[in-house]
Structure 1
Amino acid sequence: MIIDVFSDPICPWCFIGKRRMEKALELNGLTGRVTVRWRAFQLNPSMPPEGMDRADYLALKFGGGERATEIYDMIGVAGKGVGIPFEFDRIARTPNTIKAHRLIRFAGRSDLDGAVAEMLFQRYFLEGKDIGDNNVLCEIAGACGLDREETRVWLAGNGEDEEVRKEHDFAVSMNIDGVPCFIVESRYAVVGAQEPEAFGPVFDLVREEERQAAGP
C-alpha cells in the first residue's frame, strides 16, 4: 500500500496529521508495511526566499498576534493529544520551505525522506529553528544519516527545485488547497489532520480490492 502525503514542514496540522496517520497504521496492523511518500505543498509559495520575520508574518496572515495566539492555543491542545509539545513562541522566522522540500526529496534517494520530514517538524515547532537556513538543513541532514557536506553542495544548487514547484502545482490542480492531504493508492483521499479512525475505512477498502484482485 502506498500513501502520498502532501504536506508543508511549517504546517502544524501536518505534524499532527503525521502522528495521527502513524497511529492509524498501528491500529490497522500496517506499521512498517506501507510506503509513505512525502509530497511537496507550500502554504506560502510567494514567500520571499529569505523568509519573513515571524511577527510580520503573523500580522499579514492573521491580522496580528492576538488572533494568532487564539489559533495556536487551539492547535497546541490538539498537539498535546498526540504527544507534540508545540513551542510557537520560539519561532522567530517563517521560512520559505522550498529548500526544506528539496531536502526531503534529496533524502528520499537514501530512503530517509520520512526521517527528514519528522526532523524538520521537530526542529521548527519544538526548537524554533529556521528551516530555510542551509546550516540548519545540513544539521538536520546529518542527524538523519545524510552526509552534511554533500547536502550543503546540493542545497547550494537548484536540484529538484523545479520538481518541487511542479509537485505543488500538481496538488493545486487536484484541488488540494490545504494540507495535510493523504492520498491512498492514488485513489482515495483523507483530507486534513483527521483522527486515526478516519483512515480505517479507506485501508479496509484498499485491502478488500487487493483480495479481490488476487482472486480465489
Structure 2
Amino acid sequence: MSTLKPLTIDVVSDVVCPWCYIGKRRIEEALKLAPDVPVEIHFRPFFLNPWVPREGISRDEYLTTKFGSVEAYKGIAGRVVAAAEQEGLSYHPERVARQPNTTDCHRLIHWAGAIGKAPEMKQRLMELYFRDGGDLTDVDVLVQAAADCGLDAGVVRKMLASDDDVALISAQAQEAAEKGISGVPTYVFAQKYAVSGAQDPQMLARAIRQVSAEVNAEAAE
C-alpha cells in the first residue's frame, strides 16, 4: 500500500481535438512508466471550436471556415493520422461528416465520472468520432455511447434533453481559458504545473515523478 500522497493531474482537452486523442493515449502510457506513483486523473472540458452551434455544422463547412478549404486540411490531417497510428489509434478524417459542438460530450464525461467511468466515456466518444466518423450531434449516438460505458440510457436521454450541467461545463471551460490555456491537450500537475501538447510518454512520466516527489516533500514538512 503506497503511503505517497496521490498526484492530481487535470487533463484539459476536447473530444474532437485529434492531438487530445493522441495525448490521452500518451498520458496513459506515461502512467504505466511510473506505476509506483499514485495518481488521480480528472478530465476537464475545453472548447476547441466554441463558435460551432449546439446543433453542429457540416464537416465541409467547418473545414472551410477553419482552414480555408477542405483540401487545405488534408495535408495537416495526414500528419495527425500518422501520429495516431504510431500510438495504435485509428483516425479516419474522411469518415467525419458532421462537426459537433462538444458541450453534450463533456456533460457525458462529467456524468460518467460519478461512476468512475470518465476515462472510458472520453475514449468511447473519441473512438466514435475519429475512428468511426460517428455523429456526436445525434442524441441516439450519445445515449448508446453512455450505455456502452455503463450509464443508464433512459436517464441519460432525459438529462441530455435538459440543461443539466451545461452551465457547469461552460464555467469549467471558461476557467481553463482564463488560466491561459489556449492549446490542448494541457496537463496540469498538482494544480500548479502545466505541460501543453501531446508530449512524449517518457517526458510525461518524468514530470509525474518530479511533481509527485515535490508534493510529497511539501506534505512531509
Q: TM-score range by the shorter chain?
A: over 0.9
What is the TM-score of this pair, normalised by structure 1?
Answer: 0.95
Q: Which whole-Å deviations, capped at 9, do the CAs of 1:29-54 have from their partners, x for residues lacking one? A: 258x4211110100111211111111
Residue 65 in structure 1 maps to residue 70 in structure 2: yes
Contact 2:47 2:102 in 1 (8 A): yes
* 3-state DSSP of counterpart to 2:41: strand
Residue 115 in structure 1 maps to residue 134 in structure 2: no
Contact 1:188 1:202 in 2 (8 A): no
Residue type of the alignment partner of 2:210? L
Choose the corresponding residue for 1:34, options 35, 39, 42.
Answer: 39
Shift of 1:212: 2.1
Quick one: distance in 1 between partners of 2:187 and 2:66? 25
Indicate the residue corresponding to 1:8 in structure 2: 14
Choose the corresponding residue for 1:177, options 178, 182, 199.
Answer: 182
Shift of 1:211: 4.1
What is the TM-score of this pair, normalised by structure 2?
Answer: 0.93
1:77-156 → structure 2 map (5 Å cutoff)? 77-156=82-161
Quick one: distance in 1 between partners of 2:146 and 2:180? 32
Which deviates the most, 118-127 or 196-205?
Answer: 196-205
How many aligned residue pairs are there? 215
Contact 1:53 1:93 in 2 (8 A): yes
Quick one: distance in 1 between partners of 2:159 and 2:140? 12
Indicate how the Cα distance of structure 1 residues 44 and 215 shifts in structure 2: closer, same or farther if over 3 A, else same: closer
Q: Which whole-Å deviations, capped at 9, do the CAs of 1:106-147 have from their partners, x for residues lacking one? A: 111111111100100000001101112211110000000111
Q: Which whole-Å deviations, capped at 9, do the CAs of 1:20-76 have from their partners, x for residues lacking one? A: 111111111258x42111101001112111111111111111111221000000001
* Fraction of identical pairs, as percent: 37
Indicate the residue corresponding to 2:28 in structure 1: 22
* 3-state DSSP of counterpart to 1:207: helix
Residue 206 in structure 1 maps to residue 211 in structure 2: yes
Quick one: distance in 2 between partners of 1:58 and 1:214? 48
* 3-state DSSP of counterpart to 1:74: helix
Indicate the residue corresponding to 2:3 in structure 1: none
Shift of 1:214: 5.2
Choose the corresponding residue for 1:162, options 157, 163, 167.
Answer: 167
Q: Which whole-Å deviations, capped at 9, do the CAs of 1:154-193 have from their partners, x for residues lacking one? A: 1010111001111111011011011111111111111111
Contact 1:100 1:132 in 2 (8 A): no
Quick one: distance in 2 between partners of 1:10 and 1:187? 26
Quick one: distance in 2 between partners of 1:30 and 1:115? 22
RMSD across aligned positions (CA): 1.4
Contact 1:7 1:38 in 2 (8 A): yes
Shift of 1:206: 2.0
Quick one: distance in 1 between partners of 2:150 and 2:211? 33
- Structure 2, unpaired ranges of 5+: 1-6
Contact 1:2 1:184 in 2 (8 A): yes
Quick one: distance in 2 between partners of 1:163 and 1:29? 33
Contact 2:190 2:215 in 1 (8 A): no
Q: Which runs of 4+ in 1 moved over 6 A?
A: none
- Structure 1, unpaired ranges of 5+: none
Indicate how the Cα distance of structure 1 residues 214 and 183 shifts in structure 2: closer, same or farther if over 3 A, else same: closer
